[in-house]
A and B are shown apart, each in its own frame.
Chain A
Amino acid sequence: MDIIRNDTHIDFMGWRKIALIFSAVLLLASLGALLARGLNFGLDFTGGTLVEVSYPTAPELNQIRQALADAGYENFTVQTFGTAREIVLRLPVEVAAEEGADVTTAALEALQSVDPDVVVRRVEFVGPQIGEELANQGGLAMLYALAGILLYVSFRFQWRFAVGAVAALVHDVIIVVGALALFQLSFALTVVAAILAVLGYSLNDTIVVYDRLRENFRTRRKGSAVELTNLSINQMLSRTLMTSLTTLMVLIALFYFGGEIIHAFAYTLIIGVVVGTYSSIFIASTAAIVLGVSKQDLMPVVKEGADQPDVEVLPERFRN
């Protein structure tokens, strides 16, 4: 069974101008969303206090707000979380800086005064010094991952491919982060993990296409770089779509059944897989072509004393 015909001859490279314009628009929109709305940084990065509780019956939010005001808090937010019985209280980092970890105890007491049978679901207190550190670590992690990938791909392929792969990855990250800004999803530590996983995934797709490109460059005498790139993408198309499909399916399962905490994580990965699939088809190879990849770049290094025959290097048993 084939969802798409295996011998497709789609002229992806012919679309590369349109794809580049499309990507440019997406990138600009993402940067625009980032500038206009900014990221909704979660507690992990801003510091502060979060208390999630569950009341036996749906409480009056105003009553809770009054209780907190009576306890001397000012800049807090109280929201329902999932159901009407579950309440999330957020306190700004200034309170955390002033009172230290005792703030969670005091806030819980205020919430208990509304109804003593309240059940604590989750308490998070992040001091001001932690948030900044985590943000730095997250940024550093991203840079190190990109550097590691750049090195590995340069080593296994060629620098033009490495630059192309990294260009595609930066493209993916900006669009994913832009989508997070647009929908104002909470940017937590797990989301950083998701973005790094997107890097891994998108790269996986890109490498598979590059690998085929390298093989075609080495084995086929006819055809320009653009034609061979087209051929390689077409050859890998059903694999690319199939793997994206299985990954998307588990992510959708995670999104719908994984619970509130994993929501932003799953969402980031879903966007990332879609964008990553697109970029590995349209951006990564295009970038390598634009940088001037030629057949010579990928010819195997001639071993000393061995004549390199200018014929297909397919072994006997694979020939038609």
Chain B
Amino acid sequence: MNRYPRWKYLLLIVVLSVGAIYSLPNLFGDDPAVQVSSARGFELDPGISAVVEQTAADTGVELKAIDLTAERLLARVRGSEAQLKLADALRDQLGDAYVVALNLAPATPAWLRVLSARPMVLGLDLQGGVHFLMQVDMDTARVQQNERFVDDIRNLLRDERIRYRSVRAESGAIVAELRTEEDRQTALAEIGSQIPELELESFDSSETFDIRARVRPEVITELQRTALEQNITTLRNRVNELGVAEPAIQQQGSDRIVVQLPGVQDTAEAKRILGATATLEYRAVDEQNDPYEAARTGRVPPQSKLYTDRQGNPILLSRRMIASGDNLTSAAAGFDQQSGSPNVSVTLDAIGARRMLEFTNENVGNRMAVVFIEQRPVTREVDGEQVRESRRVEEVISVAVVREPFGRQFQTTGLDSARGASQLALLLRAGALAAPMEIIEERTVGPSLGADNIEQGFNSVIIGFCLVLVLMLVYYKVFGLVANMALTVNVVMIFALLSMIGATLTLPGIAGIVLTVGMAVDANVLIFERIKEEMRLGNSPLASIRAGYEKAFSTIADANVTTLIAALVLFMFGTGPVKGFAVTLSLGIVTSMFTAIFGTRAVVHLIYGRRKRVQSLSI
């Protein structure tokens, strides 16, 4: 009677242990840590660990551990005093190329980290921080794109010596007015072959023969995609300036970007930095004069300006600019088809292309440099008062020899690695013209409110949980105790699953857990009531148990599936915190099915199943 197969017990034990292991990391708290990452979003050089170790030894800070990934290095220390000391020392040591931030590293023991068990991430409403939603102004981006095409068409007509009356952007299209039908036919052919991004149609006005050009839809989609990507890249670079430990920058929808900065309090500063501007300039290298001499004597030739390249060598660049970031349409890292070595292919707009062609025609064999220019906001102290101003930072990011004349499209080759290529492409894009952005949503939670939210959230979980435990125990006695065990396991499993999928715990997420605690016992209530009913019908206790579980199952499944539908809809339509609620609610439904049906049955069987005769049930 009531035989319960061994594999079910095994499965239960496996699930229980997995649940226990993966929820464990949440109990260990955090170590104070110093985080080092590249200011430009590059991958870290493995050698950085040695530098950090040396700096720690020099300042007398004892390191607990160093965790190094491609993006960041986390040096754990003992106590916040050591943390501040090490951070200051590292800032001096590493300079502008790196961002040094204070962070908390989960103090998960090594044996758990081996199993990649990690604690839940707390949402901004629990740990404090600021959330921005930025709208990318695609209309302006499209207008700018149309204007670039107007330039392209003008240049093309001029180059091909086709006389035109006007070329202008007009209500989302580009209109070219030509004087004769013959001119129009040539223009159509030329534009069609040279600028494939445009769809062309002819129409006649009273005096002129006109062409209307529209940007192809797929080109517009591509523009939106790259504009968004460029803006995200630019934002990443800016956010790095803030020294935020774990910023999150993500696309939302087709034209929005979410920026989350945990721990940031000064939102004014954050807004200023996010709104900072960057650009880049292509300049000729001054090959006539010796840069080392100029650096040593300080006498710089009047037509040149002294820069330092990334290796720290001086370099003289012409004051005349060839092209700027405004002219750059795209930059992508790739591989050279002939040599297979990494390269970056760059596309310029019409104006940039013309200037580039003029320059490269005369300068084959000479070098050309790219300067990255950024307006960085800085806070200075003047007469005891803080003055905010922006500082112009210029950096030479690439120097290359012109092999042959080129214009609109060209490649920078001879880069040392694929990483170097992607870094250069990233910087070029960061300085390129992207669509303007605007903050359309801001949510800031102060650290005191965050702490209150955690406390209140967990208090309500614990109090609600205990109330349910007491009620179940009083009402269902031994069976209530079994249900309580299942409920406890259920909560542990929710925490384990949330930790495993790397979900972010928010206040509504906690509310979801609380609600799950209340509703999770439903399955057991259904089963227990059914058992009571079967007993009243005069069935034997063991038969009643079996019938109770079997008959209640379809009811439980139906009821839970419908609740799951509501939770899934919430997940699809919800944003941010509401999504968190939906996630915990859905997980809770699934785990409660497992623990309340599978789990309790195993325990009930352990209690009653082995006895030969059961006279009554404690239910």
| A242 touching B532 in the complex, CB below 8 Å, given contacts A200-B566, A247-B515, A250-B468 | no
From A17-25, A64-72, A177-185, A187-195, the one touching the partner chain is A187-195
Closest B residue, CB atoms, query A261: B507
B514 touches A203 (CB 8 A): no
A145 touches B565 (CB 8 A): yes
Tally chain B residues at the interface, Cβ within 8 Å: 85
* Chain B contacts for A238, CB-based, 8 A: 529
Binary interface profile of B, 545-582, with partner A (CB < 8 Å = 1, else 0)?
01100010011001111111111111011110110011
Chain B residues close to A by CB (< 8 Å): 125, 130, 132-133, 135, 265, 267-268, 271, 438-446, 448-449, 452-453, 456-457, 459-460, 463-465, 467-468, 471-472, 474-477, 507-508, 511, 514-515, 517-519, 521-522, 525-526, 529, 532-534, 536-539, 543, 546-547, 551, 554-555, 558-570, 572-575, 577-578, 581-582, 585
* Chain A contacts for B125, CB-based, 8 A: 261
Return the contact of A189 from the options B439, B514, B577 (Cβ within 8 A): B577
Binary interface profile of A, 252-267, with partner B (CB < 8 Å = 1, else 0)?
0110111101100110
A211 touches B554 (CB 8 A): yes
Return the contact of A254 from the options B268, B460, B543 (Cβ within 8 A): B460
> Does A235 belong to the interface (CB within 8 Å)?
yes
The smallest C-beta distance from B554 to any residue of chain A, in angstroms, reads 7
> Does A84 belong to the interface (CB within 8 Å)?
no
> Does A105 belong to the interface (CB within 8 Å)?
yes
> Does A15 belong to the interface (CB within 8 Å)?
no
A317 touches B543 (CB 8 A): yes
A243 touches B267 (CB 8 A): no
Complex CA–CA separation, A317 to B526 (angstroms): 20
A250 touches B517 (CB 8 A): yes
* Chain B contacts for A193, CB-based, 8 A: 508, 570, 574, 578, 581-582
18 contacting pairs across A/B (C-beta < 8 A)? A1-B476, A6-B532, A100-B439, A105-B268, A121-B445, A125-B439, A141-B569, A145-B570, A190-B511, A196-B569, A200-B565, A204-B559, A250-B460, A253-B514, A259-B453, A259-B457, A262-B456, A265-B511
* Chain A contacts for B559, CB-based, 8 A: 203-205, 207-208, 211
Q: Which of B468, B525, B538, B569 is most buried by chain A, counting CB atoms within 10 A of its CB?
A: B569
From A126-134, A287-295, A300-308, the one touching the partner chain is A126-134
The smallest C-beta distance from A200 to any residue of chain B, in angstroms, reads 3
Closest B residue, CB atoms, query A3: B475
Complex CA–CA separation, A66 to B378 (angstroms): 32
* Chain A contacts for B526, CB-based, 8 A: 208, 239
A257 touches B456 (CB 8 A): yes
Return the contact of A242 from the options B265, B463, B525, B546 (Cβ within 8 A): B525
Q: Which of B456, B474, B558 is most buried by chain A, counting CB atoms within 10 A of its CB?
A: B558
A254 touches B267 (CB 8 A): no
The smallest C-beta distance from B221 to any residue of chain A, in angstroms, reads 21
The 4 closest A-B pairs by CB, nearest first: A250-B464, A200-B566, A127-B440, A101-B439
A243 touches B581 (CB 8 A): no
Closest A residue, CB atoms, query B453: A259
* Chain A contacts for B585, CB-based, 8 A: 197, 200
Return the contact of A148 from the options B448, B569, B582 (Cβ within 8 A): B569
Binary interface profile of A, 129-165, with partner B (CB < 8 Å = 1, else 0)?
1100010011011001100110011001000000000
* Chain A contacts for B453, CB-based, 8 A: 259, 261
Return the contact of A127 from the options B441, B460, B566, B567 (Cβ within 8 A): B441
A145 touches B569 (CB 8 A): yes
* Chain B contacts for A62, CB-based, 8 A: none
* Chain B contacts for A254, CB-based, 8 A: 460, 464, 511, 514-515
> Does A249 belong to the interface (CB within 8 Å)?
yes
Complex CA–CA separation, A254 to B462 (angstroms): 10
> Does A119 belong to the interface (CB within 8 Å)?
yes
Complex CA–CA separation, A174 to B483 (angstroms): 35
Complex CA–CA separation, A140 to B271 (angstroms): 33
The smallest C-beta distance from A215 to any residue of chain B, in angstroms, reads 8
Complex CA–CA separation, A123 to B442 (angstroms): 7
B567 touches A200 (CB 8 A): yes
B570 touches A247 (CB 8 A): no
B468 touches A249 (CB 8 A): yes
* Chain A contacts for B562, CB-based, 8 A: 149, 152-153, 200, 203-204, 207
Return the contact of A320 from the options B438, B511, B538, B573 (Cβ within 8 A): B538
The smallest C-beta distance from B547 to any residue of chain A, in angstroms, reads 5
> Does A245 belong to the interface (CB within 8 Å)?
yes
* Chain B contacts for A125, CB-based, 8 A: 439, 441-443
B569 touches A320 (CB 8 A): no
The smallest C-beta distance from A117 to any residue of chain B, in angstroms, reads 13
* Chain A contacts for B133, CB-based, 8 A: 130
* Chain B contacts for A3, CB-based, 8 A: 475
> Does A222 belong to the interface (CB within 8 Å)?
no
* Chain A contacts for B449, CB-based, 8 A: 52, 121-122
* Chain B contacts for A16, CB-based, 8 A: none
Complex CA–CA separation, A236 to B528 (angstroms): 12
Closest A residue, CB atoms, query B589: A200
Return the contact of A251 from the options B446, B471, B518, B575 (Cβ within 8 A): B518
Q: Which of B133, B546, B559, B581 is most buried by chain A, counting CB atoms within 10 A of its CB?
A: B559
| A245 touching B464 in the complex, CB below 8 Å, given contacts A105-B268, A149-B566, A200-B566 | no
> Does A296 belong to the interface (CB within 8 Å)?
no
| A129 touching B440 in the complex, CB below 8 Å, given contacts A257-B460, A265-B511 | yes
Return the contact of B518 from the options A120, A192, A250 (Cβ within 8 A): A250
A101 touches B456 (CB 8 A): no
B459 touches A257 (CB 8 A): yes
B555 touches A204 (CB 8 A): no
* Chain B contacts for A101, CB-based, 8 A: 132, 271, 438-440, 442
| A123 touching B439 in the complex, CB below 8 Å, given contacts A144-B573, A201-B519, A211-B555 | no
* Chain A contacts for B539, CB-based, 8 A: 318, 320
Return the contact of B443 from the options A123, A204, A215, A256 (Cβ within 8 A): A123
* Chain B contacts for A310, CB-based, 8 A: none
A122 touches B529 (CB 8 A): no
Return the contact of A140 from the options B440, B517, B573 (Cβ within 8 A): B573
Complex CA–CA separation, A192 to B569 (angstroms): 12
A204 touches B439 (CB 8 A): no
B543 touches A318 (CB 8 A): yes
Closest A residue, CB atoms, query B523: A243
The smallest C-beta distance from B471 to any residue of chain A, in angstroms, reads 6
The smallest C-beta distance from B453 to any residue of chain A, in angstroms, reads 6
* Chain B contacts for A266, CB-based, 8 A: 511
| A204 touching B464 in the complex, CB below 8 Å, given contacts A120-B446, A193-B578 | no
* Chain A contacts for B519, CB-based, 8 A: 201, 204, 243, 246-247
Complex CA–CA separation, A256 to B463 (angstroms): 10
Q: Which of B475, B565, B570 is most buried by chain A, counting CB atoms within 10 A of its CB?
A: B565
Complex CA–CA separation, A258 to B517 (angstroms): 15
B267 touches A123 (CB 8 A): yes
The smallest C-beta distance from A279 to any residue of chain B, in angstroms, reads 14
